[in-house]
Amino acid sequence: MIAGEWSNLNVGEWPTRWAHRYPDEAYLKCGDLELSKAEFNRRVNKVAHSLQRMGVKKGTRVSVLMANCHRFLEILFALNKLGGIFVPLNFRLAPPELEYILNDSGPIALFYSPEFTASVEALRGKVPSMDHIVAEKEGGNPSDPLYEDLIRDMPEEEPVPDSPVTLDDIHIIMYTSGTTGKPKGACILHGNTQWNAINSIHMYAFDSTDVSIACAPLFHIGGLAVSAFPAMYVGAKVVIQRFFNPSETLKLIEKERVSFMFGIPVMFLLMSQVPEFETTDYSSVRFFIAGGAPCPRPLIETWLKKGVTFNQGYGMTETATAITALRREDALRKIGSCGKPVFHTDIKVVDGEGRELPRGEMGEVWVRGPNVIREYWQLPQATAESITDGWLHTGDMGYIDEEGYLYLVDRKKDMYISGGENVYPAEVEDVIMGFEKVADVGVIGIPDEKWGEVGLAVVVPKPGVEITEEEVINFCQGKLAKYKIPKKVVFAEALPRTATGKILKKELRAMYTPSPGGS
């Protein structure tokens, strides 16, 4: 009998219920390790008991700086059973960025993969709340305990949380880049994730016969809430790739008979450019799910020649992920659209006063549904500014056509997306302004064939000072994640500004972004 009542439903029960019903069915594959539903659940329980010994209770935060692996998901589901809160870290961030997130969320423990030992060493001693630092496997700091050693002698029975865990409890704090330069922690509830999984079943008809490949980073809402969560909810098999490699991904698709995969467009582009693209057997693939940026027509057509179609979508961390989805039969007919709202989600386009606009008129996109977060971690003002009567203000500008399809046209904020990663210019500008040779700087996103967009820094040097593009880029190294570092730097005598001093990004884009069809 499974502990807990219907009023205490939570995401942690997913592996428990599958282990009781179909214990011997395949659930996860990571490298050479294959875990059945029962085996995965037993490991999750052992982790949960180990976490309880560390002092994890309902509401306790635990962070991970890890590559994709089964242990990432074991820690997450163990915390789900206890009511603890999982804080995944973007391993592309620089140590100062990680330090801010850790001190803001206050985890008692950090689990890390050996690939990121250097970052952990830079953080050691700088996060007062962090009493435990655990290495995922050998290769980290030899003084840190190893994950498998911690869980080896732990009980396999279901853990008992210190208080009931419900769908209204936070189970993940996922940080998103902030327009002010400081990231915000989106508090994702068990219920947000549960309803996103239900929306996914409605949209994509997932079931236990599916096989998903998790090759996008699991620290991202796309990798976690599209590649892993819906599949695990329906009892499908998840094949985990530690780091994305286009050739290896194609080999896994054929070998594991993968039926669906989530990725950003650049991942599918890279897959189409390796020799294995021509020889891979795609007969098991039902479709790919593309998000993070629009899929260009040539890329869609390239994959169509191999019999593979795309479901495209629009989502955010704050919506646990899905907002809209474009069915594969509409991929070319409605190219440029991100589709219609997923089943249990509503959208509307509003003017500056929050009034709903007629179809065809452009305004800000708002979204409402049980998958939408209720708050940002310890930021009541930011929460109040972003959520009105349950409606999340996305900051994206768009319109809904006569058939109900959403088109995104521009961004209310200045964010741009580079390789599926959100980049906020204010954060980059703040770092570059620390360079002693820089008097002023404005950063914008410019089109890039490979990454969708990359950063362009328009720098005003201090009077009488000579400065090069290379110097600016080198100054950013180690202070920003690589994807945030501008790929190009140009120099100007002054930046266009409003009367109140704000940089006119629209003018910068007009000056430095090639116009469609232009040279």
pLDDT at position 219 over 60: yes
Is 338 within 8 Å of 376 (Cβ atoms)? no
Per-residue DSSP letters for 174-227? EEE--TTSS-EEEEEEHHHHHHHHHHHHHHH---TT-EEEE-S-TTSHHIIIII
Beta-strand pair 61-65/85-88? parallel
* Same domain, yes or no: 347 and 428: no
Strand partners of residue 213: 239, 261
Beta-strand pair 33-36/26-30? antiparallel
Please give the Cα distance from 280 to 291 (Å, whole number).
Answer: 23
Question: Does residue 202 lie in a domain region?
Answer: yes
What's the whole-number mean pLDDT along residues 388-396? 95
Amino acid at 481: A
**Which tokens belong to 167?**
């769908």
* Same domain, yes or no: 381 and 423: no
- pLDDT tens digits, 72-125: 999 999 999 999 999 999 999 999 999 999 999 999 999 999 999 999 999 999
* Same domain, yes or no: 98 and 222: yes
Range of the domain at 464: 416-512
**Which tokens belong to 71?**
């242990």
Question: Does residue 54 lie in a domain region?
Answer: yes
What's the whole-number mean pLDDT along residues 194-206? 96
Phi, psi (rounded to 5 degrees) for 199: -60, -40
First to last CA, the chain: 68
* Same domain, yes or no: 219 and 337: yes
Question: Does residue 318 lie in a domain region?
Answer: yes
Please give the Cα distance from 244 to 262 (Å, whole number).
Answer: 12
Q: What pLDDT was estimated at residue 498?
A: 65
Q: Which of 367, 397, 427 is the last residue of a domain?
A: 397
Please give the Cα distance from 357 to 348 (Å, whole number).
Answer: 8
* Same domain, yes or no: 444 and 387: no
102 by Cβ neighbours in 10 Å (0-12 / 13-18 / 19+) ranks as: buried
Please give the Cα distance from 250 to 387 (Å, whole number).
Answer: 41
Q: What pLDDT was estimated at residue 6?
A: 57
Neighbours of 278 (CB within 10 A): 9
* Same domain, yes or no: 24 and 166: yes
Q: Band of the pLDDT at 158, cuts 50, 70, 90?
A: very high
Domain CATH code at residue 321: 3.40.50.12780
Please give the Cα distance from 144 to 135 (Å, whole number).
Answer: 6
pLDDT at position 331 over 70: yes
- pLDDT tens digits, 261-319: 999 888 998 999 999 999 999 999 999 999 887 788 889 999 999 999 999 999 999 99
Q: Band of the pLDDT at 499, cuts 50, 70, 90?
A: low
Question: Does residue 349 lie in a domain region?
Answer: yes
* Same domain, yes or no: 353 and 500: no
- Total structural domains in the chain? 2
Phi, psi (rounded to 5 degrees) for 26: -65, 140
3-state secondary structure of 60: coil
Strand partners of residue 460: 440
Contacts of 311 (CB under 8 A, 6+ apart): 203, 204, 287, 288, 289, 290, 325, 326, 327, 328, 331
Please give the Cα distance from 507 to 154 (Å, whole number).
Answer: 61
**Which tokens belong to 308?**
């593979």
Higher-pLDDT residue of 433 and 402 is 402
* Same domain, yes or no: 164 and 191: yes
Domain CATH code at residue 490: 3.30.300.30
What's the whole-number mean pLDDT along residues 168-183? 83
Q: What pLDDT was estimated at residue 298?
A: 84
* Same domain, yes or no: 215 and 272: yes
Q: Which of 366, 397, 428 is the last residue of a domain?
A: 397
- The residue count of the chain comes to 519
Beta-strand pair 438-448/488-491? unpaired
CA dihedral 93, 96, 102, 108 (to 10 degrees): 110
Per-residue DSSP letters for 385-402? HHEETTEEEEEEEEEE-T
Question: Does residue 29 lie in a domain region?
Answer: yes
* Same domain, yes or no: 319 and 230: yes
pLDDT at position 356 over 50: yes
* Same domain, yes or no: 198 and 281: yes
- pLDDT tens digits, 114-151: 999 999 999 999 999 999 999 999 999 999 999 999 99
Question: Does residue 519 lie in a domain region?
Answer: no
What's the whole-number mean pLDDT along residues 496-508? 77
Q: What pLDDT was estimated at residue 91?
A: 95
**Mean pLDDT, the chain, integer:** 93
Q: Which of 351, 370, 397 is the last residue of a domain?
A: 397
Strand partners of residue 62: 86, 109
Question: Does residue 409 lie in a domain region?
Answer: no
* Same domain, yes or no: 146 and 68: yes
Tell me what percent of the residues of the chain surpass a pLDDT of 90: 83
Tell me what percent of the residues of the chain surpass a pLDDT of 70: 95
Query: Could you tell me the pTM of the whole model?
Result: 0.87
Question: Does residue 55 lie in a domain region?
Answer: yes
